[in-house]
Structure 1
Amino acid sequence: MTNELPPVPQAFPDLPQFQGLMKPCRFEGEANHLEITGSIPKEIDGVFYRVMPDPQFPAFQPNDPWFNGDGNISAFHISNGMAHFKQRYVRTEKFIREREAHRALLGKYRNKFTDAISFKIRSTANTNIVHFRGKLLACKEDSPPYAMDPITLETFGLYDFDGQLPSCTFTAHPKMDPISKEFVCFGYEAKGDGTPDVCYFSFDKEGKLSEEVWMVAPVCAMIHDFAVTDNWVLFPMIPQTCDIERMKAGGEHWQWDPELPFYLGVLPRHNAKGSDWFHAPNAFPGHSANAYETPSGEIVFDLALSNKNVFFWWPDKHGHAPSPHEIVNNMTRFTFDPLSTNLELPPPSKLVTDDLEFAKIDERFMMRKHKHIFFDVMDHPHTDFATVAPKMGGGAPIYNALGHFNVESGKYERYFPGNTHLVQEPVFIPRGNDAEEGDGWLLALVNDLNAGNSELHLVDTRNFGSAQAVVKLPVRMRPGLHGNWVDGEELRVSV
């Protein structure tokens, strides 16, 4: 923390992460009865929640990364063939104190030593928004979540699970067991910045803490997403490491380590006594699709994986980082014995070699064998880059299509929204509780860079090549990180 407040910027800097598509939205409000082309089936009833990093003030730190912005929650209520929209910022401590000061006060990404003032909780609550027992939880993995009203989007405050939260941090990707309704969670840097401690914990369907296990990782590094099976929990570690002395000197929280293996923590899900840390050659694990166990007891784990540093804005100690166009994530499958004493992971297979991310499955099959995977994908020939490149900005992942891969049949389908359009993370909506796996709709926010607006595209998985409906939004939405679909009946029961 500095002794004197730094100067107040009056405009967002002329940097790629704040211009074009990446220009902050900074809108709060609502709009009902949105314009729709095509038709939304009457069976669809629920809310698509998503969050975007959306700074309310320009940062005083130079070259602030795009996902250091305040969490702004969008809620798209869809029922009876109609769509309604509401958006509101999470009222974090940071947001409230900066609004009172009329300026940015938070310093570098996850570096409290660069702040203009002291915060009790530095969270921006900008990474994921999940529904849990009648509340929305706005998650940022360096802190507890913030609880919000799922209807009004009012912020209730920090949420510690009725005093049961064992870790000072909370994952941005908790998992809900679709059968037992157990809420499976973890926190890394669980005892504070720079600590290698990882805390695994879960809550039963009544909201009571049912598991708590503490582990020490091989190194203090980022664990953004994870995966769960019936009997195991997997923690893929990104080789971005933390060093407190570097932070105290004003440096970055994270630094890429090209010499560090790709570590995969493997822990029994119930009654665990300890964990093993499997390893593979240096790689960047992206988001998990799913994991499950085979009849023989092996674990199958599908995730996006790159051999490059995807977070290129945090280079290695020599300043080396790949160019964004060099980074490719493949849908990768690891199959291994969790009881093996050989902790070297067998070589994985590549399910899809196109550049992809933000995988989703039919969540009714989470933690069990799946055959359908949906994701964002980049297919260069289908985009008019001469038109959109000057309007893209930079920093966020860029994808121009939605993909659907059937693991069993090998069938691969793509939906292209248009040659000036870019897609964001999709959500899957099942056609009904008893529908076959993967039978339903994919819903995603889409940005039309030529028109400068945003839309929701609804794609029927039975006819994946075209949109069944396009919902026109009244504001341009900045790229977000994550979101989830919540069925209307679940909201009505929990409220």
Structure 2
Amino acid sequence: MEAKVESAFPDRPQFQGFMKPCRMEGEIQALEIHGNIPKDIDGTFYRVMPDPQLPPFVQDDPWFNGDGNIAAFTIKDGSVSFRQRYVRTEKFTREREAKRALLGMLPLFTLNQCFILNKCLTFRNYLGKYRNKFTDAVEFKIRSTANTNVVYFNGQLLALKEDAPHTHSILPPWKPKGQLPSLTFTAHPKFDPKTGEMVCFGYEAKGDGTPDVCYYSVSPDGKFTEVVCDVERMKQGGEHWQWSPETPFYLGVLPRRGAKPTDVKWFEYKNSFPGHTVNAYEDKNGNISLDLGLSDKNVFFWWPDAQGNAPEPSSILSQLVRFTFDPTSKELNLPSPQLLQKDNTEFYRIDDRFATKPHRHCFMDLMDPSLGTDFQAIGPRLGGGYPLYNSLAHLDVITGKTEIYFPGKTHMVQEPVFIPRRGSEIEGDGYLLALVNNYDTMSSELHMLDTKDFTRVQAIVLLPIRLRQGLHGNWVDALDLKAAV
């Protein structure tokens, strides 16, 4: 007796409208361009989106639980080409062979028992959960979907996700065998522009639900040079994450070189939701400044607290703030942060050449309903399950001035990337590139801005397809690609 397998995506907002899975691999040459792309731009914008290749077991599966699908926009001589391909993870390959989802079935019975009970149960009835191995139909060696970030390092293009014990390489494989003591590896590494090192960490380093964090520093040739290294709810089919309105926000600090686990110092702030970081650096007096988005509400509203409480999405406000503190202080309560930008913002980017150093320019996504977005018209086409931003913003941290680019009343923006102007060493001098959702045409666009004239678009690149909401991406200059060959 065969089990019933769903062949359609669930009737849920995260699978509807613009969020309907794309599921496309292929390439398009010479995309249509309105405006002009400067001839000095030569490189590739890589971005990744969670894009399930098959309908999930779980009716209300989170939108970012899909397979990693990487898009590459190559810009050269004023022209743009597009390629897209899924990351060949173990999960992706095995599910493609099986022609059905294999993650997300609560094993109240064995697989054979499920077949026998098919008369009254289907796979879809089992409430499998995001990042919960106890809800899988089969066992995976590497469970990752590689769908959160894509970075270029040591001659490899690496697809990353927070729960993976290693990266997935798209170009020549990077195999740090015997070097990685943790079961996890961050999807949000930072790169030292002076040394070329990749600085990163893995949380839940010893396995699901453990409080351990492992710190890594990886040299430009791929060698690890510095390493410091609630399950029961999941076994019962619960969520991997659960918001705690009582737990303080903790910030761990340790020496960059030669650190031991006992050297970690934990600073504390009131219960908050820390968003993506902008940058961190030490000043001449040894004080640390850390810029990041911060909210007093649960930004990941799709994971409620233990009582099932979650904020209404439109009530959430994430603001850009700066914590400045003395890492040698015996006072472990962080001082109140400085508010850098009052609006609802996220997905912050800087000129990466100034990482680990004081920065002046910050680029970000911003939501301001007063700008003129036609929510009534585009509402039925939005899809759901993720925060919305209707503009791109540039903050001058020194003057406090914010410039805003509004792409149109039927548009929403995704995370931007900064491209330095060739030959310029001035911070923030260059271009901003972002994927934009056009809900009128139900297709995607690339919008390019010149930072010298931020509020006006330099070029709009049209795609004949729709790319659902992505997570992160990065710009790789052609000179860096050639140097690695």
| TM value normalised by structure 1 | 0.91
SS at match of 2:95: helix
Cα distance in 2, alignment partners of residues 163 and 137 from structure 1: 19
- For residue 329 of structure 1, the aligned residue among 314, 318, 323 is 318
Cα distance in 2, alignment partners of residues 289 and 67 from structure 1: 22
Q: Which residue in the other structure is 1:200 paired with?
A: 215
Q: Which residue in the other structure is 2:54 paired with?
A: 57
| AA at the equivalent of 2:421 | R
- For residue 146 of structure 1, the aligned residue among 153, 168, 171 is 168
1:182 CA drift (Å): 1.1
CA-to-aligned-CA distance 1:276-299 (integer Å, 9 cap, x gap):
111100000000000111111111
Q: Which runs of 5+ in 1 are unaligned?
A: 150-155, 215-242
The answer to whether 1:262 aligns with 2:259 is no
The answer to whether 1:451 aligns with 2:466 is no
Q: Judging changes above 3 Å, is the alpha-carbon distance between structure 1 residues 307 and 433 closer, same or farther for their aligned structure 2 residues?
A: farther
Q: Which residue in the other structure is 2:267 paired with?
A: 278
SS at match of 1:21: helix
* Contact persistence 1:403–1:414 (CA under 8 A): yes
* Contact persistence 1:17–1:65 (CA under 8 A): yes
Q: Write out aligned runs for 1:5-84 (5 A).
A: 7-84=4-81
CA-to-aligned-CA distance 1:149-190 (integer Å, 9 cap, x gap):
2xxxxxx66x54244222111000111110111111110111
* Contact persistence 1:5–1:116 (CA under 8 A): no
Q: Which residue in the other structure is 2:188 paired with?
A: 173
1:470 CA drift (Å): 0.5
The answer to whether 1:212 aligns with 2:236 is no
Q: Write out aligned runs for 1:282-361 (5 A).
A: 282-361=271-350
| AA at the equivalent of 1:256 | W
Question: Relative to structure 2, which stretch is displaced further, 5-14 or 23-32?
Answer: 5-14
Q: Which residue in the other structure is 1:233 paired with?
A: none
1:447 CA drift (Å): 0.7
* Contact persistence 1:49–1:483 (CA under 8 A): yes
Identity, % of aligned positions: 62
1:6 CA drift (Å): 6.3
- For residue 109 of structure 1, the aligned residue among 104, 111, 130 is 130
Q: Which residue in the other structure is 1:490 paired with?
A: 480
- For residue 428 of structure 1, the aligned residue among 418, 421, 429 is 418
CA RMSD of aligned residues (A): 1.2
User: Which of structure 1's runs of 4+ aligned residues deviate more than 4 A?
Assistant: none
Cα distance in 1, alignment partners of residues 269 and 175 from structure 2: 35
SS at match of 2:452: coil
- For residue 123 of structure 1, the aligned residue among 115, 127, 144 is 144
SS at match of 1:468: strand
Number of residue pairs the alignment of both structures matches: 457
Greater radius of gyration (CA): 2
| AA at the equivalent of 2:235 | K
| AA at the equivalent of 1:147 | S
| AA at the equivalent of 1:383 | T
The answer to whether 1:99 aligns with 2:120 is no
- For residue 383 of structure 2, the aligned residue among 367, 385, 393 is 393
Q: Judging changes above 3 Å, is the alpha-carbon distance between structure 1 residues 10 and 286 closer, same or farther for their aligned structure 2 residues?
A: same
1:5 CA drift (Å): 8.8
* Contact persistence 1:29–1:87 (CA under 8 A): yes
| AA at the equivalent of 1:399 | Y
Cα distance in 2, alignment partners of residues 183 and 96 from structure 1: 29
Q: Which residue in the other structure is 2:122 paired with?
A: none
SS at match of 2:323: strand
Q: Which residue in the other structure is 1:188 paired with?
A: 203
The answer to whether 1:439 aligns with 2:429 is yes
| AA at the equivalent of 1:339 | T
The answer to whether 1:380 aligns with 2:377 is no
| AA at the equivalent of 2:281 | Y
- For residue 239 of structure 2, the aligned residue among 246, 249, 252 is 252
Cα distance in 1, alignment partners of residues 194 and 349 from structure 2: 18
| AA at the equivalent of 2:399 | S
Cα distance in 1, alignment partners of residues 176 and 79 from structure 2: 34
Q: Which residue in the other structure is 2:119 paired with?
A: none
Cα distance in 2, alignment partners of residues 72 and 122 from structure 1: 16
SS at match of 1:12: coil
| AA at the equivalent of 1:306 | S
1:433 CA drift (Å): 4.7
SS at match of 1:268: coil
1:328 CA drift (Å): 1.0
Cα distance in 2, alignment partners of residues 207 and 252 from structure 1: 35
Cα distance in 2, alignment partners of residues 191 and 352 from structure 1: 37
Cα distance in 1, alignment partners of residues 244 and 437 from structure 2: 34
The answer to whether 1:164 aligns with 2:186 is no
SS at match of 2:324: strand
* Contact persistence 2:153–2:220 (CA under 8 A): no
